[in-house]
Structure 1
């Protein structure tokens, strides 16, 4: 289980099947990786007993635009943060499955 004290902005993720639609914005406190090799740190990663999480801020506004969760059994889900025309925000799952299948 991933708790908010492990990654600010995420109240609780249990696994790749956790629905994130109503999660809200996820602030990245200390990006430690440059996932697109442009010289700017834009990604935080962390591990729990059950999963590995990658959170990336592609527009460098301090908030994650992409989240990927990979469970220890290989199940995964990828999510993108969307801004609607009416100002509402939500996460949309863009991919899911099992690694190796």
Structure 2
């Protein structure tokens, strides 16, 4: 299972706005660096590369990312949420996709 590790962003899977997350399972977040919702608890970290920025968030604070947003330099974006199914399996479901400004 991918983890955020000691150095945030290193070893994390890299995605673009058209990626399928079908084969990605839960992503452990060991070292969040930002507090996205302002409650004083670090719940998010951001990774960047030459083409895009990815924002991973653990909104329920269980130690695993449950939201991923990717914004590419050309304005394409996508968002996913991780859903845990009653049978114990889980899956990433795309919740949004488009181009900034359109």
1:7–1:80 distance in 2 versus 1, CA, 3 Å: farther
* Aligned match of 1:50: 51
The two structures have a TM-score, normalised by structure 2, of 0.86
Aligned pair count?
A: 96
Q: Aligned equivalents of 2:48 and 2:99: distance in 1?
A: 18
Q: Aligned equivalents of 2:22 and 2:75: distance in 1?
A: 22
The two structures have a TM-score, normalised by structure 1, of 0.87
SS state at 1:22 partner: coil
- Is 1:69 equivalent to 2:70 in the alignment? yes
State the 1:9 CA deviation: 4.8
Following TM superposition, the consecutive aligned residue runs of length 4 or more in structure 1 with deviations greater than 6 angstroms are: none
Q: Aligned equivalents of 1:36 and 1:22: distance in 2?
A: 28
SS state at 1:31 partner: coil
Aligned alpha-carbon RMSD (Å): 1.8
Gaps of 5+ in 1: none
Bigger strand fraction: 1
How big is each residue's C-alpha offset from its partner over 1:24-53, in whole Å with a ceiling of 9 and x where there is no partner?
Answer: 011113211100000000000011001100
SS state at 1:23 partner: coil
